[in-house]
Amino acid sequence: MSKAKDVEVTFEDQQRINTFGKLNLRFHELEAEMRHKKTLLDDLEDASNELMLTDEEQVRYVVGECFYYANAEEATERIEAATAEAQTEMDRLKQELQQTTGKMAELKQVLYGKFGDSINLEED
Amino acid sequence: MAESSTDQQVIPAAQFIDNVEDFLAGRPADAVIEELNGSYRLYKAAEQRLVQHRTRLLGKLPEIRKALTAVHLLVAKRDEEVEVLFDFQLSDQVYAKAVVKDVQTVNLWLGANVMLEYPLDEAVVLLMENLKQCEQNLETAKRDIATIKDFVTTTEVSMARIYNYDVQKRKGSRAKDS
């Protein structure tokens, strides 16, 4: 295995490794959440485009398990509100992802600096 | 719908090994690794349980939000005093029209085959409460997962360290022999 020449793992190192593990977990959660949000945003955009093209004055808007007859104006408003909400969420997720990868890079530098080849922080 | 957090089992925390030699105290490395492996499996099982719990909660969240939007719509239409036309599902593949006006109450599915009729405003309060509860439970689950993740990582590192220590020691004694 590794030829760690007496590099002792200190409690602080262990803390760093643990933090890295948790960040990596969060990283994957964030990615999954962002995929979901992206789909939602795409769907909302499609809906909004369709609404712009249609001549119908009434459209059916999904609420719960039902479709409710909304006039086009109301539907547009609802979609805009939903888009704004999803976009805010998306921005928050993006920001957190950036912070997470930043912190991971910092920890990588410290840990590789100390342990070199004796530690592997990459995904398979 | 409202349910308290996890089935809390007490799981012993993973200990960080300060010094491998002192920790082994003359015991054979394989036996100690095997012992750690036992706790490792325990942690992994607990982690899996918690992740499942979290997934369940995550699935509930959009359900509650969906119900809340529907009730909010009913409230809005009641306040505007207009009637609304709905297509609702009668059975699979069949939808029927319904005119909804002057709605005062709504039936909420509480689970366990129970449905209860609530005045609209009370339904909103209840659903909001459930939403808050669900979010809180998610927070707890997140914290629990983080803790167990620390145990898992610590144990992994401990096992690797003992293994490496043992390899080094064997090499050392072999070098002396030859």
**pLDDT tens, residue by residue, B133-163:** 999 999 999 999 999 999 999 999 999 999 9
Is A66 within 8 Å of B89 when comparing Cβ atoms? yes
Check CB contact of B18 with chain A, cutoff 8 Å: yes
Is B154 within 8 Å of A11 when comparing Cβ atoms? no
pLDDT band at B178 (very low <50, low <70, confident <90, very high): low
Is A1 within 8 Å of B167 when comparing Cβ atoms? yes
Residue A69 with chain B: CB contacts under 8 Å: 84-87
Q: Measured between alpha carbons, how far is B176 from B134 in angstroms, rounded to an integer? A: 63
Return the percentage of chain B with pLDDT > 90, whole number: 60
Residue with tokens 């959660």: A29
Residue with tokens 């093209």: A53
Tens digit of pLDDT for each residue in B48-77? 999 999 999 999 999 999 999 999 999 988
Domain B29-163 sits in CATH at 1.10.287.370
Task: Note whether B148 and B46 are within 8 A (CB).
Answer: yes
Phi, psi of A80 (to 5 degrees): -60, -45
Q: Please identify every stretch of chain A with a pLDDT value under 50, giving residue numbers as ranges.
A: 1-4
Q: Is B107 helix (H, G, I), strand (E, B) or coil?
A: strand
Check CB contact of B76 with chain A, cutoff 8 Å: no
In the stretch 2-21 of chain A, residues with CB closer than 8 A to chain B read 2, 4, 9, 11, 14, 17-18, 21
Is A14 within 8 Å of B154 when comparing Cβ atoms? yes
Residue A66 with chain B: CB contacts under 8 Å: 70, 86-89
Q: Measured between alpha carbons, how far is A23 from A7 in angstroms, rounded to an integer? A: 24
Q: Which of A4, A9, A66 sits opposite B87 (nearest CB)?
A: A66
- pTM for this one? 0.82
pLDDT of residue A89: 96
How many Cβ atoms are within 10 Å of B58's Cβ, its own excluded?
Answer: 14
Q: Is the ipTM of this complex over 0.85?
A: no
Check CB contact of B143 with chain A, cutoff 8 Å: no
Check CB contact of B84 with chain A, cutoff 8 Å: yes
The domains of chain B are located at 29-163
Which site among A66, A71, A100, A111 would you substitute to test the B interface, given the most B Cβ atoms closer than 10 Å to its Cβ?
Answer: A66
| Nearest residue to B148 (alpha-carbon basis) of B25, B3, B12, B28 | B12
Q: Measured between alpha carbons, how far is B82 from B89 in angstroms, rounded to an integer? A: 22
- H helix intervals, chain A: 11-53, 72-115
pLDDT of residue B3: 37
How many Cβ atoms are within 10 Å of A15's Cβ, its own excluded?
Answer: 14
